[in-house]
Chain A
């Protein structure tokens, strides 16, 4: 990837995380790490977002919410699992109310491990996500051309 095709807007949803990763996601976008340098903007609206940052694992109660937000996002879209709980369930993997990582609910493109995930890892993951986003956009374009 030579340069990012667009400024990635992100939406954040807290699955069943302990907050540690959530505050790191926010800290990534705040002055200390300044994710906005890369054009990363936090939005509350799934329809405006390119990248879906999920923290925490999924359970019976929130799995539908995670799927709903994912479905509301417009193609092309990328999912980043932030923190080890979102990747695999982490320390809570054998809790009775934890189904597992976010990939149990929706397809995940980038895994960012860590407990709590470090902002540097998150920035890396978002940049990797932008590459995937560009790839997906190219593919969509090609498909459209093929149809026309």
Chain B
């Protein structure tokens, strides 16, 4: 055993699209400890509730993270609606979930590409992102934006999707399926991919439960926890929803869970597009949250459970808005998963937890 050395990793690193700094303590080639340092992206946007009213803040909430933008605006809107006791029209709930699941597909495809890039499979990165453009085209057609959609409002949604457009979305998703299968077949069966992922960065079921891991990261360690299964909003209309889990807890399991979740999301969108009722897409919101009123809410983001808390003070400004995002939860598990892995596998382990630093730091 040699003496230990500290190798700095990030904040500017080719595999990291976002700034995260890790001090890797290595002995020979093995990582024995990891000290994460965050704070490069902190903006302090929770404090903005003091200067933006609850209707304006939805645009700030959306910009917590550009990848989970739809999820954050949805989570925020649901929390404020609960705070003020607003009933959202059913059609709006369906539309929200359809957009949210589309953004899950785009997030997972983006991630599959980045993960492939992390072990040097650059052509796969390009293929995943090419497929992802088709989802972004749907966003652009239905909302006008590519990544920041600005379509959710407190009390409903800003735009409707015509029935013909919904049918077109379903057929685009059908078209994506066959191309997507080629990608997942390669990622899940190719020998060179397996060599880099199987048995790497294992997080056991016990560790995942102890550290309260969330999202696909936990589900890959056999934790059957998915907020969507609570059946809130339009998720309640699904005929069947089972969280996708895997027992192995290694990088391969995490790739597999996310690969399957894309297909699950396609299924959800197609089922909801068939069941969507006619009606209004928004209700008028009047008044302000009562002083002292509190509301909490959870939402399954592409990266896992996100918790929202809001408190009113009788004015149009909220007293407090707080989010606990999935990555801030998962960083503890990432540190555990990194311990004992080879220095060369660090990229892969970090990428497979799908860190979203701007969510974490806000």
B114 nearest CB across to chain A (Å): 9
Q: Considering residues A14, A56, A59, which has the most beta carbons from chain B within 10 angstroms of its beta carbon?
A: A14
Q: Are B66 and A44 in contact (CB under 8 A)?
A: no
Which residues of chain A are within 8 angstroms of B358 by Cβ–Cβ distance?
14, 16-19
Residue of B nearest to A65 (CB): B11
| Chain B binding surface, main DSSP class | loop
Report yes or no: B66 in contact with A21, Cβ–Cβ below 8 A.
yes
* Chain A residue at minimal CB-CB distance from B361: A16
B64: interface (CB < 8 Å)? yes
Given A18-B64, A20-B66, A31-B129 in contact, is the A56-B147 Cβ separation under 8 Å?
no
Residue of A nearest to B145 (CB): A116
Q: Mark A1-33, 1 if CB is under 8 A from B, else 0.
A: 000000000001111111111111011001110
Q: Give A57 to B13 CA distance when docked, in angstroms.
A: 19
Q: Determine, out of A95-103, A104-112, A131-139, the stretch whose residues face the partner at the interface.
A: A95-103
Specify the chain B residue showing the minimal Cβ separation from A46: B12
Residue of B nearest to A33 (CB): B133
Q: Mark A25-69, 1 if CB is under 8 A from B, else 0.
A: 011001110000000000010100000000011010110010001
In the complex, which of the residues A24, A59, A94, A95 has the most CB atoms of chain B within 10 Å of its own CB atom?
Answer: A95
Q: Considering residues B17, B48, B64, B136, which has the most beta carbons from chain A within 10 angstroms of its beta carbon?
A: B17
A47 CB, min distance to chain B CBs, angstroms: 12
Shortest CB distance A11–B (Å): 8
Task: Name B356's closest neighbour in chain A (CB-CB).
Answer: A19
Q: Is B63 an interface residue (CB 8 A)?
A: yes
Interface with A: B24-32, B35-43, B273-281, which one? Answer: B35-43
Question: A74 contacts the other chain (Cβ, under 8 Å)?
Answer: no
Question: Interface size bucket, A side?
Answer: 35 or more
Bound CA–CA A95/B64 (angstroms)? 13
* A19 touching B42, Cβ below 8 Å: no
A16 to B43, CA, bound (A): 7
List the A residue with the shortest CB-CB distance to B150. A115
Enumerate B1-22 residues with CB–CB distance to A below 8 Å.
11-14, 17-19
**Binary contact readout A73-103 vs B (1 if CB under 8 angstroms, 0 otherwise):** 0000000000000000001101111100000
| A91, B52: Cα distance in complex, Å | 11
Q: How far is the CB of A39 from chain B (nearest CB, A)?
A: 16
Assess the A116–B148 pair: CB atoms within 8 A.
yes
Residue contact B133 to A27, C-beta cutoff 8 Å: yes
Whether A94 pairs with B51 at a CB distance below 8 angstroms is yes
Contact A65 B40 (CB under 8 A): yes
- Contact indicator B11/A62 (Cβ below 8 Å): yes
The 6 closest A-B pairs by CB, nearest first: A20-B66, A44-B14, A32-B133, A19-B66, A30-B129, A31-B130
Q: Which A residues are within 8 Å of any B CB, using their own CB? A: 12-24, 26-27, 30-32, 44, 46, 56-57, 59, 61-62, 65, 69, 91-92, 94-98, 115-116, 118
